[in-house]
Structure 1
């Protein structure tokens, strides 16, 4: 019998190749609570997959899972969170920008009752090292104004390095399908529902290998949509769930979980060759 993990670590990947090995080794070393680590890829031929399988052969906590929602980081993150088996899902990047030692701290905040726990670059003790200056200014400005005026509970709503209550996510659904907007979407939804959000300081390092696929011009409209959404009147869970996009997202998630669970079961002895 497979035990339910305490935390699901969701890592969207795109042709990371052998670099994923060092990322996974850091996570597996630093996360001591029962965990599953989901390497979510968009296509079977992704160069990350064979290296993820090599690590999984040594450590059963690791699984490479194929995203069936469509290509792109938002769909990969959404799929990973939707099929997560743990009560807490932590989204982190494969490029080494996030500190894996904080995964457990974020997860424990959710265990204590918050629905979103954010790793914050912009609170006292936090820092961002590197990255495009214009992107950094936009992110910092959005985080501070949302914290001051929309009372979202974190100064870094746009950071993807967050932990989520999977029960909360399954109530409200994930609608984002572009870029890395899921972090601000779920933070904004928690704010509208007046549910608790917490943060802890983090030091974010710009990726050292490969190139960032963040396109400000293409992703900005989606970020602005959720930025303004955070300022709306209070909603109930029922009102949030009745929104057509939220309802559709929850239906997708239910179907994905059912399919994923069916195909994740070990073969019975009679069917093994």
Structure 2
């Protein structure tokens, strides 16, 4: 598998999480540390670990700044047929990485680590974010039948062929998880879940901006309730939107690049 970890100035804090991943991931894997700029404070610490463990490599995201572009770039750069996306802050439990990858190997296109199924739990984090994600997960599971009770969680494994087939339209934040879950649902592709315990980060500050990311989450939330699509119909929709999305991504890169 390819484990994709988007980073943004995690500094020395990434070391503990990387060490846990390298200890807990037992299947053959490459660990991609995806950073937006060469001077990201995460890079020297990750490269030092890479010197001693060839599974780790740092990759410079050239798709534009932000977590969505970093995840897009990481999945495109993945060499394995399974890509597992996990965060650099230590909130996700690396013991679930192998199990998520095995689900994809068995045939699902999206395997979700679920905080809201029996055996799962969310510890800490902003109250509004917790309430909103739980409500979204529950309603999507009950009414849209998306196959997981935690569609908004970023900690997921994907069939990389499926991702490249349907494309990633997200350009803002961490809404890729719900986008690909919604697309799998609309195409009738299998989605599965396993329980996980999510712990709020212990070091550093979260870069999740609810006000900025919420509109994108809502867009994909409502998309999940649509009628069944074929791959051709989805591809036509993607082709119609891609030029506008590329312009948005370029404009955002200009806005966020220091003068």
Same fold (TM over 0.5): yes
C-alpha contact 1:143 1:155 (8 A) present in aligned 2 = yes
Q: 2:237 aligns with which of 240, 243, 249?
A: 243
In structure 2, relative to structure 1, the CA distance for the partners of 1:169 and 1:151 (3 Å cut) is: same
Matches of 2:108 and 2:73 in 1, distance apart?
A: 22
1:224 and 2:218 correspond: yes
Aligned to 1:170: 164
1:241 to partner: Cα distance: 1.4
The residue that corresponds to 1:83 in the other structure is 77
Deviation at 1:120, TM superposition (A): 0.2
The alpha carbon displacement at 1:34 in A equals 1.0
Q: 2:124 aligns with which of 104, 108, 130?
A: 130
Aligned match of 1:27: 21
Are the equivalent residues in 2 in contact too, given 1:188–1:230 (CA < 8 A)?
yes
Of the three residues 85, 88, 93, the one matched with 1:94 is 88
Number of aligned residue pairs: give it. Answer: 244
* Runs ≥4 residues deviating over 2 A: 244-249
Aligned residue number for residue 66 of structure 2: 72
Q: Offset at 1:85?
A: 0.7
5 Å-filtered alignment, 1:82-231, equals 82-231=76-225
Q: Distance in 1 between matches of 2:238 and 2:110?
A: 23
Deviations 1:50-85 (A, max 9, x none): 111100000111000000011011111111011111
CA contact under 8 A between 2:13 and 2:204: conserved in structure 1? no
Are the structure 2 counterparts of residues 243 and 46 from structure 1 closer, same or farther at C-alpha, using a change threshold of 3 Å?
same
CA distance in 2, matches of 1:244, 1:16: 33
In structure 1, the residue matched to 2:249 is none
Q: Give the C-alpha shift of residue 242 in structure 1.
A: 1.6
Match of 2:250 in 1: none
Work out whether residues 104 and 159 of structure 2, in 8 Å CA contact, stay in contact via their aligned partners in 1.
Answer: yes
Report whether the alignment pairs 1:15 with 2:37: no
In structure 1, stretches of 5+ residues that fail to align are 1-6, 253-273
Aligned partners of 2:110, 2:207: CA distance in 1, in Å? Answer: 25
Q: Which runs of 5+ in 2 are unaligned?
A: 247-259
Residue-by-residue CA offset, 1:103-148 (whole Å, 9 max, x unaligned): 0000000000000000000001100000011110000000000000
Q: CA separation in 1, counterparts of 2:55 and 2:28?
A: 8
Could you tell me the TM-score, scaled by structure 2's length? 0.92
- Aligned-partner Cα distance in 1 for 2:169–2:60: 19
2:49 corresponds to 1:55: yes
After TM superposition, give the deviation of residue 22 of structure 1 in Å.
Answer: 1.2
